[in-house]
Structure 1
Amino acid sequence: MTQTQTKTKPARSACFDAVRMAMAGKLEAKDIEEIIDLARAAALRRKSQSALDNADDMVMKDMDDVARDMATAATLERRNTLLNIQAREGILARIAEYDDPGKGMAALLAGERGKMGLSVDARSKALRSNYVGGLLADLEAARVLPKLGQRDKEFNRLIARELWEIRPDKTGKPGITGSRDAQEIARVIHKWQGAALARQNRAGAAIREMPGYIVRQRHDMVKIRKAGMARWMADTLPRLDAQRTFGDADPAKYLESAYEALASGIHLRHRGAEGIDALTAFRGPGNLARRLSEQRVLHFKSADDWYDYHLQYGSRDLMESAINGLQYAASNTALMETFGTNPRAMFDLVLKRLQAQHRGDPKKTKGLKGTLRAQTLDWYFMELDGATRIPQALTMARIGQSLRALQSVSKMGSAVLSAVADVPVMAAAAKLHGASHLRGYATALRDLVRYRGNEEGRRIAELIGVGYDGFVGDVIARFDSVDGLPGFTSRAMHTFFKLNLLGPWTDAHKTGMGMMFSRQLAQVANDGFSTLPKGLRRELGHYKIGPDEWDLVRSVPMQRANGLDYLVPEQARRVSDADLRTYRDNLKLTGNPKARLPEPDTPADARSLARLRDDLETRFQAYLVESVDAAVPTPGARERAFMHMGTQSGTLAGDAIRFMMQFKAFPITMISKILPRVGRAGGWRENTTGLLHLIPMMTVFGYLGLTAQDISRGKTPRDPSMPATWGAAFTKGGGAGLYGDFLFANYGYGRGIMSRVHGPSSGTLDDLSRIYGAIRRADDAAPLAFRTLVSNLPGNNLFYTKAALDYLLVYRMQELLNPGYLRRMERRTRSRHHRYILRPSEAIR
């Protein structure tokens, strides 16, 4: 035996013993041998680059790291096993509340129809509102929010440099840029990233704060695929810290694997503990044996290298990436808090268990397997984990998104005039929560003047987590399917919904309704739960807020703004430890599974109290945010599932469904969320009264919307004595939801019911077909071609410019191309019982 062989054997034995002791016998001998072999191979590859001249010394060094990681992994494995048991029991207990287990699972995922409730979707929205609202509130308090609105690339670079210097070991140099604003923005972003990180860890992740973390990199799969693997690798490699990124792996193979993952879009899905941002993820026991070859983390050399990559292959705007990262963390946490550390696996496991449990009862299994209703459960989950937002064939997805965006910016210029029908819905929401219809109308009308109020009022709204849709570009979700592809199209849509005033309208009313609900809670904070208004108790109960939860939150001082008190979810953070311990003991007595978990990682008491605060805050946040989304109709996971049907863009089925569902989000939300909510609120008398208020008033406001739209187009109001007028108003107001589109719609010249079914793009396609046919027949295609061009011109029907555009250009061109067209148009208008204020045929003379 050689000297090297003699030395290697005891060194290997020492490695073996180190791992075995660290794992306390939890690994078999063959697993330990495999890890040693991998570590030794890596050490030999590094030998020429290391100051150590002995591979065995390198192995021992690696094994020290492995042993430490495995000790941590063993603790995490025990914790996550308990968390998953807790999650499973919590899911089964929640579903057991329903006679129909399929209905129970649907309620757990996306809320109960007409009631909503504390679903995964509600938790996700609550956490997003908490993180993003808190971020914006702190930025506004620091008076730096306007600076971010300028979207200055070089200023964003300064923010990136400041974030780079915020290091867990305190070795960074905050203030290095000399910009107070950049330093303050970095501090606030880091604060909320830390809050999201801590919450994910409490839910089952194991994320370490690492130096050099800026924000979650929003890798743009469109740009990455367009560049191709070779160019992406050539651009990325010089910017990376080779030792931290590659370790002992082959850089080419490492980056090839990273490219495939990023180009596939898998990083966009919410996958629980598996989907944590790779930059900070702890490598658990399942990955330890392969960690040297399978980690795909990109560590950059400097903040500038990170930012240059961000500009080239990210979303360009740093604040957009920061908000996206917080939203991703929120959705991931909501899934983990309900379904454990591997949400999809738990979802499938529970479904199979329920199917087996109810195998002999067809009534209960029809909602779990083999039916359309059972299929919708999968659709709900795909909406929640982000699967439907990952495009397949990227070129097809981008073309489809662009065509739908073109329809939006050319057809929705007067959408804010249609949105006046929101006002009766707000009044109905106020009534449901124990206030009066009159208070709802007063709030809605006041918001038109107040917009989002002053700084104190905006802070309350941001603490609630409402009223910032326009800032983050979420307004389009109220009316259309959202594909989620970043880029010019998304930015153009964001700008358009500011120009058509729908963004300000939505933000103003969500702010007003959120503050109204929050103020109402503060006004009754001195009352016990049993003495609250009946409607308010019912709505709070949907979010698991009962007497104990109510007493906890009202025990701390309210938030005060403009001389008024408001109850905000953040108050749960200020509940005393003693009160929380009493609450926890009461939960144990009732057998609540949330109270039984010991916490091995930290002192059990502190960890348990932190999780209770999380849950309490989320319940109140979900109540407020979901109530606002029902008052200003906004689709949730249930509605989006119907609009996507489990498909992805970039597929024939996926894009066909998205074209068909374009502009149908509002009527679908009315059918799925608003009408059932009002019609099933309480007893038959309350339900009937609610519907008898809502539908007629939406029709009245629909008439007001029609009138405003007609005036913006230079026409007189329609004759209110004609039944056809009220049929149109009924449709415009949305009182009949989607059905009204087909029953009372005026399809217009050359349009039929199929145009409504297939979406607006089918009408444009039909026009192009007719133009082609006219050209083939040698007919004059110019009039139809011009009309098609104008109707698809971005911004052509902005309500405050349409009349001027028509009288100055469009009418003249139409008459020139098609003599007599204007008089025929005027006759059609008179047949609908209204006329032009200034006749176009006279105006162009």
Structure 2
Amino acid sequence: SRIADAVMKVSLLSPWTQAGRWAFGTEFLGFIADNSNVAFKDLNPKFKNTLQKYGIEEGKWNIIRATKKYEHEGADFFDVNALANRSDLTEDAREDLAKQVLEMINTETNFAVPSASLKGRLLVGGEAKAGTLIGELSRSVLMYKNFGITLIYTHMMRGLAQTSLTSKAGYFASFLIGTTVMGAAAMQLKEIAKGRDPREMTTKEFWGAAMLQGGGLGIFGDFLSSNVNRFDSSISKTLVGPVGAFYDDFSRLTLGNILEYTAGKKTNAVDEGINFVSRYLPGSSLWYSRLAMERLVVDQLRLWNDPRRTRKKFSRREKRYRKDYGQRYWWKPGKTNPNRNPNFEAAIGN
């Protein structure tokens, strides 16, 4: 939808991803140009294997080498358009080779900068049509898990395709270490952005969560140390997916409060309404404004509605994070100003 696309752009995720893909593709074209003076037999073995994987052998490499390069600000790049327009080749030959080069660059870009893939979408939706019960349910269950699915179809399959057990182990080891380290960095940045000190990095629970985070399934890492996730949702509610969670929250806000009111029970409609809006309002999860919005607007609305109950909830939340993760808040819930700077030494247990 337009709203979802706009939020992705404003969050800088879409521009960041596209910039990464563009940079890798451009670097690949530059790398081909840099190697244009190297004979096929003398190419770096890994690069040669990559070419052969896409059906580019010595004869085709010689055609690529002889193709006019594109020069920009002193740097040379391989020009696919120049290859496709070569007059000394048959139309089929130049088009087929241009497609092979583009397939190679596009596929390797998907490995370097994973994004939602067609295979992932097929696994998520299958043959179920959008708008049907099965189709929407399957999309909800696997929504925001496409990144992890893409990793399975790219790096997992490439690792399994390695020729020897040693090469398989080496590929998976380097992949696991790299994604886990980056997952750990992402986790710590998220914690700071939510007003909490970094998590202690000396526990097995942290590195288990970091491994899941690196694989695009970070929300399930929350359950390694707690029975609820970062949104105070159970694992069953998390498995259902955001669409199912939305309908559950909406039904509680509307039908649930109506039933409580008709039964003569006290309702929490205002508090639940504040929580609902803060969770589902487009843009409410923007990483650079979320904390300020939560502390200065949402928390203050909660305190205005029910000061005593809200302070108890804030206190329970602080105690839970201290117990489950050993964390403290550098900007406490309900406060309009940070009480201190983040304690980065908390990451090493200080």
Q: Give the Å deviation of 1:698.
A: 1.2
The alignment status of 1:492 with 2:9, answered yes or no, reads no
Q: Give the Å deviation of 1:669.
A: 0.5
Partner AA of 1:655 in structure 2: E
Partner AA of 1:653 in structure 2: I
Partner AA of 2:109 in structure 1: V
Asked if structure 1 preserves the Cα contact closer than 8 Å seen for 2:284 and 2:290, the reply is yes
Q: Give the Å deviation of 1:796.
A: 0.7
The alignment status of 1:786 with 2:267, answered yes or no, reads no
Partner of 2:197 in structure 1?
716
Residue 189 of structure 2 aligns to a residue whose secondary structure is helix
Residue 718 of structure 1 aligns to a residue whose secondary structure is coil
Q: Give the Å deviation of 1:843.
A: 4.3
Q: Give the Å deviation of 1:742.
A: 9.3
1:571 maps to which of 82, 87, 110? 82
> 2:335, 2:131 → 1: CA distance?
49
Asked if structure 2 preserves the Cα contact closer than 8 Å seen for 1:734 and 1:740, the reply is no
* Equivalent residues in 2 for 1:142-161, closer than 5 Å: none
> 1:509, 1:692 → 2: CA distance?
24
Residue 840 of structure 1 aligns to a residue whose secondary structure is coil
Partner of 2:13 in structure 1?
502
Partner AA of 2:126 in structure 1: M
Q: Give the Å deviation of 1:750.
A: 5.0
Structure 1 residue runs of 5 or longer lacking an equivalent are 1-489, 581-608
Q: Give the Å deviation of 1:676.
A: 2.1
Change (3 A) 1:652 1:646: same
* TM-score where L is the length of structure 2: 0.84
Change (3 A) 1:743 1:802: closer
Asked if structure 1 preserves the Cα contact closer than 8 Å seen for 2:183 and 2:211, the reply is yes
> 2:225, 2:202 → 1: CA distance?
18
Partner of 1:768 in structure 2?
250
Asked if structure 1 preserves the Cα contact closer than 8 Å seen for 2:213 and 2:219, the reply is no
1:759 maps to which of 225, 241, 247? 241
Partner of 1:631 in structure 2?
112
Change (3 A) 1:568 1:677: farther
Partner of 1:805 in structure 2?
293
> 1:774, 1:628 → 2: CA distance?
50
Partner AA of 2:133 in structure 1: L
> 2:335, 2:225 → 1: CA distance?
30
Partner AA of 2:301 in structure 1: M
Partner AA of 1:611 in structure 2: D
Q: CA RMSD in A?
A: 2.6
Structure 2 residue runs of 5 or longer lacking an equivalent are 340-350
Return the index of the structure with the highest Cα Rg. 1
The alignment status of 1:536 with 2:24, answered yes or no, reads no
Partner of 1:515 in structure 2?
26
Partner AA of 2:238 in structure 1: R
Identity of aligned residues (%): 25
Change (3 A) 1:620 1:842: closer
Change (3 A) 1:739 1:822: closer
Change (3 A) 1:697 1:675: same
Asked if structure 2 preserves the Cα contact closer than 8 Å seen for 1:519 and 1:565, the reply is yes
* Equivalent residues in 2 for 1:361-372, closer than 5 Å: none
Change (3 A) 1:838 1:634: closer
Q: How many residues align?
A: 325
Partner AA of 2:288 in structure 1: Y
Partner AA of 1:835 in structure 2: R
> What does the per-residue CA deviation read over 1:240-261, in whole Å, with 9 as the maximum and x for residues that have no partner?
xxxxxxxxxxxxxxxxxxxxxx
> What does the per-residue CA deviation read over 1:695-731, in whole Å, with 9 as the maximum and x for residues that have no partner?
1221111111111111112111111122222222222
> 2:248, 2:2 → 1: CA distance?
29
Change (3 A) 1:621 1:696: same
Residue 625 of structure 1 aligns to a residue whose secondary structure is helix
> 2:219, 2:316 → 1: CA distance?
31
* TM-score where L is the length of structure 1: 0.36
Q: Give the Å deviation of 1:745.
A: 8.4
Asked if structure 2 preserves the Cα contact closer than 8 Å seen for 1:518 and 1:566, the reply is yes
Asked if structure 1 preserves the Cα contact closer than 8 Å seen for 2:183 and 2:212, the reply is yes
Partner of 2:327 in structure 1?
834
> 2:281, 2:40 → 1: CA distance?
55
> 1:841, 1:496 → 2: CA distance?
26
> 1:745, 1:652 → 2: CA distance?
34
Asked if structure 2 preserves the Cα contact closer than 8 Å seen for 1:706 and 1:732, the reply is yes
Partner AA of 1:779 in structure 2: K
1:684 maps to which of 162, 165, 171? 165
The alignment status of 1:701 with 2:182, answered yes or no, reads yes
Partner AA of 1:623 in structure 2: M
Partner AA of 1:837 in structure 2: W
* Equivalent residues in 2 for 1:187-586, closer than 5 Å: 490-577=1-88, 580=89
The alignment status of 1:825 with 2:308, answered yes or no, reads no
Residue 560 of structure 1 aligns to a residue whose secondary structure is strand
Change (3 A) 1:492 1:739: closer
> 1:744, 1:526 → 2: CA distance?
53
Change (3 A) 1:833 1:568: farther
Asked if structure 2 preserves the Cα contact closer than 8 Å seen for 1:545 and 1:619, the reply is yes
Asked if structure 2 preserves the Cα contact closer than 8 Å seen for 1:742 and 1:753, the reply is no
> 1:721, 1:765 → 2: CA distance?
39
> 1:535, 1:509 → 2: CA distance?
22
Asked if structure 2 preserves the Cα contact closer than 8 Å seen for 1:807 and 1:840, the reply is yes
Residue 71 of structure 2 aligns to a residue whose secondary structure is strand
Asked if structure 1 preserves the Cα contact closer than 8 Å seen for 2:11 and 2:286, the reply is yes
Asked if structure 1 preserves the Cα contact closer than 8 Å seen for 2:115 and 2:150, the reply is yes
1:612 maps to which of 85, 93, 113? 93
Asked if structure 2 preserves the Cα contact closer than 8 Å seen for 1:814 and 1:822, the reply is no
Change (3 A) 1:635 1:740: same
Partner of 1:656 in structure 2?
137
Q: Give the Å deviation of 1:682.
A: 4.3
